[in-house]
Every structure is written in structure tokens, then in C-alpha cells.
A and B are shown apart, each in its own frame.
Chain A
């Protein structure tokens, strides 16, 4: 069966450290993968997109990697800040569908 999995347990890290969140998928052939941030009571906000033929993408303190052999994407926030605390969702678009498929999200908590 097709699955997108993110760690359901919250990730707690200290301010200044690098946060790494994982997105694993099975039985999909993704054309690209996106990462979104969601704050409580708000809709998700787009952060980064990485295509299947790209290994890494960066935007300011954010870095996303994409390994189609491992069927995994990693999302890194360097020099993390308490304001980075939120839930982070991965979503992929498969070649055989027009719809984004979302993971369940991982909650990140950055402590001062």
C-alpha cells in the first residue's frame, strides 16, 4: 500500500541546534516533494519544493534533501529558534496523480 510517514512524536531541541525532520514514502513515484509549515489554528504554508532529480535545495536556514533510492526526504533547520516551533508537513506529487498527498506532520518544539 502507499504510505507517507513522518515521525508522529514531537521533536524537542535546544535553540541554536539543527533540527532534522524525516519524511519516508512507499509505493509512490514522486515527481516532486514539498514541505509546509503549519501553526496551530492556521492553514499550512509552503516552504520548499524539491524535484525528483534534485538532491538538495536550500533557502536561508532551511535545507531539504531528497533520496529516491532510500525513498526519503530530510528537512533541516539550522540555528533553530523558538519561532521555528510548529508542525512541519511533507507532501508529494506522484506521477500518476494530480493530487498532493500529505504526511501527518511532525511537531517541532525549539526551547530557548
Chain B
């Protein structure tokens, strides 16, 4: 079946503009995660959606970052008033059930490379 898809694959924007990044998780997966990966760095957790529960936003670096997940499926990560330090690859992952104690594998999309000029 289809894996996790993300769009766009690349996004170049000017400082101060808003951007929206999209993630289509694997059908039937209830958990969805967003990560940021700066060049040569590990994955930095941003936000986590699990079913109908309130999202875990503890990783969002500032109030310029927000995310939605509509209908328990597609998610959009929005960065307002982008800054140069926002330049990174933004990765989305989904898993069958992300509730505590489960060991579900996270399936990652290819990422969106964001460059803020």
C-alpha cells in the first residue's frame, strides 16, 4: 500500500512569509508525528496527534508553529513569519496506534526541505 507522503518536497520562501507543509499518513494509522531535522542533526520532535485526543504540542519551538489534523487523517504544519533558523527538513511519520506502551513502528515520509532566504 501507499506509504506516508509529504508535499511539497522542497519549499523556498522569503523570511517573514508563512508556509504550509502537508502530510498524508498511511490509511488507518491513528498516530501522526511531526519532526524537524536540521542539517547533520538528529530528529527534533515537534507535535504528536493520537486519534481524537488533544495533540501533544510540547515540541513546538515557538508560537509561530502550529499544526492541524483534519478528520483524523491529513495534517498540515504551518510556520508563520518564517525565520532563517526555520530552514530544515520537516519529517512526518505515522503509526498504527501511538498510545503509551505500544511498540508500533513509525513510518516516515520523505520530508519537506524548507529553505528560508
Contact = CB atoms under 8 A, between A and B. Distances in A.
A112 interface: no
Interface residues of B, number: 26
B103 interface: yes
Interface of A: 4, 6, 31-32, 34, 41-46, 49, 51, 89, 91, 93, 98-105
Contacts of A45: 108
B41 A104 contact: yes
Interface of B: 4, 33, 35, 40-43, 45, 48, 50, 56, 59, 91, 93, 98-101, 103, 105-111
A7 to B, nearest CB: 12
A98 B55 CA distance: 12
Contact of B110 (A4, A41, A51): A41
B108 A44 contact: yes
A99 B56 contact: yes
Contacts, number: 55
A102 B50 CA distance: 19
Nearest to A6: B42
A102 B105 contact: no
Contacts of A102: 35, 42-43, 45
B7 to A, nearest CB: 14
A4 B42 CA distance: 10
Of residues B45, B101, B106, which shows the largest number of chain A Cβ atoms within 10 Å of its Cβ? B106
B43 A99 contact: no
Given A32-B103, A98-B98, A99-B56, A89 B48 contact: no
B108 A99 contact: no
A99 B106 CA distance: 11
16 contacts: A34-B105, A41-B110, A41-B111, A42-B110, A43-B111, A44-B91, A46-B106, A46-B107, A89-B42, A98-B100, A99-B48, A99-B56, A100-B106, A102-B35, A102-B42, A104-B42
